[in-house]
């Protein structure tokens, strides 16, 4: 009987046989993009952020003031942008350089 802990996979980059669970963890982490806010904190889906400066919103004719809390952000494919919702503005995309994790 073989256990999944006993399975080894050849790693082409290192030239070694490594445990399959370790290789699966490396493959999973390679696909993830690390998104950071203006202060360098790592952001994740569902986090709340605070604006660090006043932002004029194109097309809405509105200005979001510094200190405005944006709840429930979603990460995008671009590590410099987050997708979020505000009460008055739907489909808002903010640059990570203008937000700080709450």
pLDDT digits (tens, 9 = 90+) for 14-23: 888 988 888 8
Enter the tokens of residue 37.
């806010």
Residues 6+ apart with CB under 8 A from 11: 17, 18, 23
Residue 6 binned pLDDT confidence (cut-offs 50, 70, 90): low
In the predicted model, is pLDDT for residue 5 greater than 80?
no
Residue 17 Cα distances to 1, 25, 30, angstroms: 20, 15, 19
In the predicted model, is pLDDT for residue 2 greater than 50?
no
Residue 82 binned pLDDT confidence (cut-offs 50, 70, 90): very high
Mean pLDDT calculated for residue range 74-102: 91
pLDDT of residue 74: 93
Q: Which residue has the higher pLDDT, 6 or 62?
A: 62
Mean pLDDT of the chain: 86
- Residue 73 has a CB neighbour count (10 Å cut-off) of 24
pTM: predicted TM-score of the whole model, two decimal places: 0.67
């Amino acid at each position: 009987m073989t256990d999944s802990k006993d399975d080894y996979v050849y790693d082409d980059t290192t030239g070694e046989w490594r445990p399959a669970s370790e290789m699966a963890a490396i493959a999973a982490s390679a696909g993830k993009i690390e998104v950071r806010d203006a202060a360098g904190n790592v952001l994740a889906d569902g986090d709340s952020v605070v604006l660090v400066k006043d932002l004029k919103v194109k097309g809405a004719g509105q200005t979001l003031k510094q200190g405005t809390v944006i709840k429930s952000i979603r990460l995008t494919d671009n590590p410099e942008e987050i997708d979020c919702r505000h009460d008055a503005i739907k489909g808002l995309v903010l640059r990570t350089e203008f937000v700080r994790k709450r």
